[in-house]
Chain A
Amino acid sequence: AKKREYKVFSVEFHRVETPFIIGIWIFFASLAKIGFHMAPKFSKMFPESCLLIVVGVVIGVLLFHASSVHVSPLTPDTFFLYMLPPIILDAGYFMPNRLFFDHLGTILLFAVIGTIFNTLSIGATLWVLGKSGLFGFTTPLLDMFLFSALISAVDPVAVLAVFEEIHVNEILYIVVFGESLLNDAVTVVLYHMFETYSEMGPSRITYMDLLSGLGSFLVVAIGGTIIGVIWGLATGFVTRFTNQVRVIEPIFIFVMAYLAYLNAEIFHMSGILAITFCGITMKNYVEANISHKSHTTVKYTMKMLSSSSETIIFMFLGVATVNNRHDWNTWFVVMTIVLCSVYRIVGVMVLTAVANRFRLHKLDKVEKFVMSYGGLRGAVAFALVLLIDPKHVPLQPMFVTTTIAVIYFTVFIQGITIKPLVKILNVKRAERRKPTMNERIHERIMDHIMAGVEDILGKHGNYHLRDKFKRFDNKFIRPYLV
């Protein structure tokens, strides 16, 4: 046998392969980001998400030709378990709570009714079109619904990426963005429902199954929310005792929010709702407990994690586009894009008409337009379509291709044109500034006045409820958490 000798130098790439490649990805994605901001003309015209996808495609093409190994970094698991939570936590934690709850009615209307309407109408229309033979293959009804369930949900990542840059006024922003967060429960339920149905086969679906689908919606939505709120309160409670060990304060905030997300996912509940509400809940109490420095750390870490995840998601979307399993069907792609846009507009028209009956601030034409136009589809749809099992749904490869096409359409066409459109239509922009002392005090007084007037009227409106919650909070929750 050969004598073993001590080597001074050896190469063992295999051992570090995965983390090394991930590191390289993040490195290049960040470099790309720096690049865009160095070219101000470029980044003014295109939203960052577009440019990241383009970089992704370029890398994808290089990889595709360079190696025989198929690289597909965007698997549903990595997306749902590692890349999505930071973005949603960031959104939930920095959510303007008051604005969110003031418009909760409208947001819920869009998130629940709007998404269901979109799913059913897109699915049914695709099915009818399939019957007419336009696509050249048979389109089983349930498969169409499965596809429409994942394509009809407005995507929080895409909405954030585009809306953060255009700074529309806060009401528009919160309505579109709130919808994209809260419709997660609807998407999860519809997706699982149609997935199960299509596995069962249409003949064996009973009314009971339809009813349990409806029931499971409530469980998924309310369950996710409750899990989030409980973890949020727990975070408040734990951080109450950290004043001796300040350095671990941010850890609790991140880990406990993440656990809330995973906890909801264990029970197949809405993880997005869980982590959103965890952030919303904990913020009030945590901020009173942690030191100023920890607060800064939390803020920047959160921003960093979410923007890196967003960067990586869009780049990976680009990379994932380049593969040889595409199944392109022009009519199906075109019809899906048309139907998504048309039903979005119809949905917004009808639902804003309903919502305006109950709103003090009526949503006007321009706002309706931005709302329909802001219905962007994104990575959540892509991750969900990858989850479909081709064994049960033979059309899956075509769905993947179509989903990518829809995402490209919304991110590129809508993403690029929305900025100039917002300018042309003169949409009210957001102004970013801190409220002055006077504004803070006088606006508080107005809140009390309005709560008082609502009480005189015997009306249980927003002010009344907020007042009630504040009293409850001050009396029973705060003393234990702060």
Chain B
Amino acid sequence: MGNKSSLLLREEEIAQIQEATGFTPNQIERLYSRFTSLDRGDCGTLSREDFLRIPELAINPLGERIVNAFFEESGNDRVNFLQFMQVLALFRPIKKHSPNRLNSRQEKLRFAFKMYDLDNDEMISKDELLAILHMMVGANISEEQLNSIVERTIVEADENGDNMISFEEFCKVLERTDVEQKMSIRFLS
């Protein structure tokens, strides 16, 4: 498999992706072989169905939203390898001395924020928060309890009194969270 994928991926492509994302050539080849195995139609791009065919992702409460993040990057309904890599680059661990482009704390937080902010107005509204909690907790918690959780959450984070959580407020409440650690993956090299 490794051989096949390295045949398909030309050297200048690897260099270009390395430049754009910061992955090492080894990691790029590894991820490319994953990319091709997800690509059932062998057309060099991935569709939504290709992603959602991953069984665990399909039952992940955020599965669809995570997949959407890939398509937001591409702007249409196919994702090519570079776009795929650009999203994944966000989850690279932050190294002390290398410049942070795609994987800075800010970018990681931005990704998490977008999971809530479906209408892209840079605000998490009460309904958006409620919707996401619904998906996470299932039927165990009553509607009333959920509502009060949402209200408490917003009051806690809201500083300017607009009953919504802006990105700045979002960053502020997570000030003490080790986002760099929590939203990083060790890519095998």
Residues of A within 8 A of B (CB): 358-361, 431, 436-439, 441-446, 448-459, 461, 464, 467-468, 471, 474
Q: Are A442 and B56 within 8 A (Cβ)?
A: no
Contact status of A455 and B174, CB under 8 A, knowing A444-B136, A449-B111: no
Number of A-B contacts (CB under 8 A): 100
Interfacial chain B residues near A468, Cβ < 8 Å: 56
CB distance from B171 to the nearest CB of A (A): 10
- Chain B residue nearest to A461 (CB atoms) is B185
Secondary structure call for the A interface: helix
Q: Are A449 and B185 within 8 A (Cβ)?
A: no
Given contacts A439-B176, A448-B60, 19 further A-B contacts (CB under 8 A): A361-B181, A437-B156, A438-B156, A441-B153, A442-B174, A444-B136, A445-B62, A445-B112, A446-B183, A449-B66, A449-B112, A450-B91, A453-B88, A453-B185, A455-B57, A456-B57, A457-B88, A461-B186, A464-B56
Q: Are A450 and B183 within 8 A (Cβ)?
A: yes
Complex Cα distance, B156 from A318, in Å, reads 52
Q: Are A445 and B34 within 8 A (Cβ)?
A: no
Interfacial chain A residues near B31, Cβ < 8 Å: 457
- Chain B residue nearest to A362 (CB atoms) is B93
Contact status of A438 and B153, CB under 8 A, knowing A360-B186, A446-B183, A458-B34: yes
Q: Are B66 and A454 within 8 A (Cβ)?
A: no
CB distance from B107 to the nearest CB of A (A): 13
Q: Are B136 and A452 within 8 A (Cβ)?
A: no
Interfacial chain B residues near A441, Cβ < 8 Å: 129, 133, 149, 153
Contact status of A467 and B174, CB under 8 A, knowing A438-B156, A441-B133: no
Contact-size category for B: 35 or more
Interfacial chain A residues near B9, Cβ < 8 Å: none
Contact status of A467 and B182, CB under 8 A, knowing A441-B133, A449-B66, A449-B115: no
Complex Cα distance, B156 from A453, in Å, reads 29
- Chain A residue nearest to B63 (CB atoms) is A452
Q: Are B185 and A454 within 8 A (Cβ)?
A: yes
- Nearest 5 pairs between A and B by C-beta? A438-B173, A452-B66, A455-B56, A448-B62, A455-B57
A-B contact pairs, 25 of them (CB 8 A): A360-B185, A437-B152, A438-B173, A438-B174, A441-B153, A442-B112, A442-B170, A442-B173, A443-B182, A444-B136, A445-B116, A446-B179, A446-B183, A448-B61, A449-B112, A452-B57, A453-B88, A455-B56, A456-B38, A457-B31, A457-B185, A459-B188, A468-B56, A471-B59, A474-B138
Q: Are B186 and A358 within 8 A (Cβ)?
A: yes
CB distance from B40 to the nearest CB of A (A): 14
Interfacial chain B residues near A446, Cβ < 8 Å: 112, 179, 182-183
Complex Cα distance, B61 from A471, in Å, reads 12
Complex Cα distance, B138 from A443, in Å, reads 18
Complex Cα distance, B188 from A358, in Å, reads 9
Counting CB contacts under 8 A, is B160 at the interface?
Answer: no
- Chain A residue nearest to B137 (CB atoms) is A444
Q: Are A453 and B182 within 8 A (Cβ)?
A: no
Contact status of A437 and B153, CB under 8 A, knowing A449-B111, A455-B60: yes
CB distance from A362 to the nearest CB of B (A): 9
Task: Encode B164-183 as 1/0 by CB contact (under 8 A) with A.
Answer: 00000010011011010111
Interfacial chain B residues near A456, Cβ < 8 Å: 38, 51, 54, 57, 66, 88
Interfacial chain B residues near A439, Cβ < 8 Å: 173-174, 176-177
Q: Are A360 and B93 within 8 A (Cβ)?
A: yes
